[in-house]
C-alpha cells in the first residue's frame, strides 16, 4: 500500500533539506553538491559525539587520494649527548620511517533511506530536524567503526546480505595488520586442518587472558611504546568470560561493592580494557587509540537529499573518499581465535 508523506512532515523535511543546502552555499540539496569544509568538520565532530571511540582516534583530512601516511608516532628515543670536538650532533628522525606505507582513499557511500512512515511518525516532535540529523549521523558513525574492525576487501558492489559486518566495503585496521604487518598478528597454534586457536586454560601456555595480554605486550609491542597509552580493545565476550565468575556468585554487601568496583575498572593484564561496538568476538587489539586513523580526502564529500516516491521514502545520498590507517605497526598487536578451555 502506498504511503503519503503528510503535509506537516513534508514541511519539516523540506525545511531540513533547505537548512543543509543553506549551510553549504547551494540553492538546493536535491542536486548533488560538494559539502563545504566547515560543515564537513561539524559533521565529523557529530560522528564523534555518536560513537565515543571515534573521539579517541585520528580523523585526518588529506589533500591527495594517495600518499604516505602521516605517522606522527615517534619510532625511537631522541635524547642523547655528542662530543662535538670529535663529531657533529646526530639528530634522530621522528616517525617510524621503516614502516611507512601508503594510504589510498577510495569512495565509500553512506546512503541513508528515510521511510515516509517514519517521517510521518516524527512530525509531532518539536525537534524533528534534530532527530533526523542524529539518525543519519549515528548510522554513519557506527558503520565507520564496523568497517574499521571488520572490513576485509573492497568489492565493486557491496553485498550487505552476504557481508552484514561490511566486510566488503573497505579494508579496515585489523585487515591492514594481517596483511601489512603479519609479525604483529598472533593467531594462536595450528590445531589441525589449518585451524588456529589461542587457547586459554590450566592445560595451556596461557592460564588466563591476562597472561596472554602481558605476553603480547612484552613480546610484540616495541619497547618505546609499552608505556604510551596502550589499551586492550575487545568485544563484550572477552570481558564476560573474565568477569562473569566474579559477578555470578552470592556475596555479602561489602563483597558486592568490591566486585562492582573491579568490574567498573575493567582490565586485561595491566591494560585498561576497552569494549567497542562492532569489534569481532574472540579478538583483542593491543594498541593506543591514537594509533588508528581515518583519512578523508578533502573535496570529496558529496551529498544530495532526494525524494523516492516509488519507494515511499527519501534518501540522503552521501559519499566520501577515505581510508583506514594504522600509523605504527610496532605499536599494536592483533590477537585472534581466543577460546577458553577450562
Residue 255: pLDDT band by 50, 70, 90 thresholds?
Answer: low
Claim to verify: residue 186 and residue 264 sit in the same structural domain:
yes
Instruction: Please indicate, yes or no, if residue 310 is contained in any of the structural domains.
Output: yes
Statement to judge: residues 25 and 135 lie in one domain: yes
Query: Looking at the structure, do residues 53 and 17 belong to the same domain, yes or no?
Result: yes
- Distance (Å, rounded) from C-alpha 39 to C-alpha 19? 11
64 and 136 co-located in one domain: yes
Ramachandran sector of residue 330 (left: φ over 0; alpha: ψ -120 to 50; beta: rest): alpha
80 is a domain residue: no
Query: Between these two residues, 177 and 243, which has the higher pLDDT value?
Result: 177
Q: Please provide the average confidence, as pLDDT, over all residues in the chain.
A: 89
Same domain? 276 vs 307:
no
Overall average pLDDT of the 47-57 stretch? 94
Query: Stretch 231-258: mean pLDDT, rounded?
Result: 73
For residues 68 and 97, membership in a common domain is answered with yes
Q: 45 is written with which cell numbers?
A: 565532530
- Whether residue 68 has pLDDT greater than 80: yes
Domain assignment present for residue 119? The answer is: yes
**Do 206 and 282 share a domain, yes or no?**
yes
Query: What pTM was estimated for this model as a whole?
Result: 0.88
Q: Is residue 84 part of a domain?
A: no
Note the pLDDT of residue 340: 87
- Mean pLDDT on 285-302: 96
Domain count, the chain: 2
In the prediction, which pLDDT does 269 show? Answer: 92
Residues 6+ apart with CB under 8 A from 311: 113
Q: Which residue range is the domain that position 262 belongs to? A: 175-290+330-340
DSSP string spanning 252-301?
-HHHHHHHHHHHHT-EETTEEEEE-TTPPTT-EEEE-GGGEEEEEETT--
Q: What is the residue-wise DSSP string for 307-339?
A: EEGGGTEEEEEEEEEEEEEES-GGG-EEE--EE
User: Within a domain: residue 83?
Assistant: no
- Are residues 302 and 212 part of one domain? no
- Could you tell me the CA-to-CA distances from 91 to 80, 98, 309 in Å, in that order? 9, 17, 65
- Inter-residue contact 331 to 192 (CB < 8 Å): no
Parallel/antiparallel/unpaired status of strands 333-335 and 284-287: antiparallel
| Residue 70: inside a domain | yes
What is the spatial distance between Cα 292 and Cα 317, in angstroms, rounded to a whole number? 27
Taking CA atoms, 25 is separated from 36, 39, 71, 212, 322, in Å, by 8, 10, 35, 54, 24
Q: What span, in angstroms and rounded, lies between the C-alpha atoms of 272 and 231?
A: 5
Identify whether residues 19 and 148 lie together within a single domain: yes
Question: Do residue 234 and residue 138 come from a single domain?
Answer: no
306 and 168 in one domain? yes
Residues 215 and 334 both lie in one domain:
yes
CA distance 232 to 283: 10
Could you give the CA distance from residue 261 to residue 275 in angstroms, rounded to a whole number?
17
User: In this prediction, what percent of the chain has a pLDDT beyond 70?
Assistant: 87
Task: Say what the pLDDT of residue 122 is.
Answer: 95
Residue 50 in any domain: the answer is: yes
Residue 86: inside a domain: no
Predicted pLDDT at 187: 94
Residue 166 has pLDDT above 70, yes or no: yes
Residues 213 and 268: their CA atoms lie apart, in Å, by 6
pLDDT digits (tens, 9 = 90+) for 111-161: 999 999 999 999 999 999 999 999 999 999 999 999 999 999 999 999 999
Q: Would you state the pLDDT for residue 127?
A: 95
Amino acid at each position: 500500500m502506498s504511503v503519503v508523506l503528510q503535509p506537516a512532515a513534508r514541511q519539516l523535511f523540506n525545511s531540513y533539506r533547505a537548512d543543509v543546502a543553506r549551510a553549504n552555499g547551494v540553492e538546493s540539496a536535491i542536486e548533488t553538491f560538494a559539502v563545504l569544509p566547515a560543515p564537513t568538520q561539524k559533521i565529523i565532530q557529530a560522528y564523534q559525539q555518536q560513537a565515543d571511540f571515534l573521539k579517541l582516534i585520528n580523523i585526518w583530512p588529506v589533500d591527495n587520494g594517495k600518499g604516505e601516511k602521516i605517522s606522527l608516532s615517534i619510532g625511537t628515543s631522541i635524547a642523547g649527548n655528542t662530543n662535538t670536538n670529535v663529531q657533529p650532533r646526530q639528530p634522530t628522525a621522528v616517525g617510524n620511517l621503516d614502516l611507512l606505507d601508503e594510504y589510498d582513499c577510495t569512495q565509500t557511500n553512506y546512503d541513508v533511506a528515510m521511510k515516509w512512515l517514519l517521517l510521518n511518525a516524527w512530525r509531532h516532535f518539536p525537534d524533528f530536524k534534530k532527530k533526523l540529523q542524529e539518525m543519519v549521523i549515528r548510522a554513519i558513525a557506527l558503520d565507520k567503526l564496523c568497517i574499521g574492525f571488520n572490513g576485509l576487501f573492497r568489492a565493486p558492489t557491496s553485498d550487505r546480505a552476504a557481508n552484514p559486518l561490511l566486510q566488503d566495503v573497505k579494508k579496515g585496521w585489523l585487515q591492514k595488520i594481517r596483511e601489512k604487518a603479519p609479525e604483529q598478528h598472533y593467531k594462536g597454534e595450528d590445531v589441525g586442518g589449518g585451524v588456529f586457536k589461542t587457547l586459554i586454560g590450566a592445560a595451556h601456555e596461557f592460564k588466563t587472558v591476562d597472561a596472554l595480554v602481558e605476553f603480547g605486550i612484552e613480546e610484540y609491542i616495541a619497547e618505546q611504546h609499552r608505556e604510551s597509552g596502550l589499551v586492550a580493545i575487545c568485544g563484550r565476550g572477552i570481558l564476560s568470560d573474565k568477569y562473569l565468575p566474579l559477578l555470578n556468585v552470592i556475596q555479602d554487601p561489602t563483597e558486592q561493592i568490591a566486585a562492582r568496583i573491579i568490574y567498573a575498572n575493567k582490565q586485561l593484564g595491566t591494560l585498561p580494557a576497552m569494549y567497542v561496538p562492532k569489534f569481532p568476538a574472540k579478538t583483542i587489539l593491543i594498541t593506543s587509540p591514537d594509533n588508528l586513523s581515518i583519512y578523508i580526502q578533502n573535496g570529496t564529500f558529496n551529498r544530495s537529499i532526494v525524494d523516492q516516491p516509488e519507494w515511499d521514502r527519501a534518501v540522503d545520498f552521501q559519499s566520501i573518499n577515505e581510508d583506514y590507517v594504522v600509523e605504527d605497526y610496532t605499536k599494536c598487536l592483533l590477537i585472534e581465535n581466543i577460546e577458553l578451555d577450562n
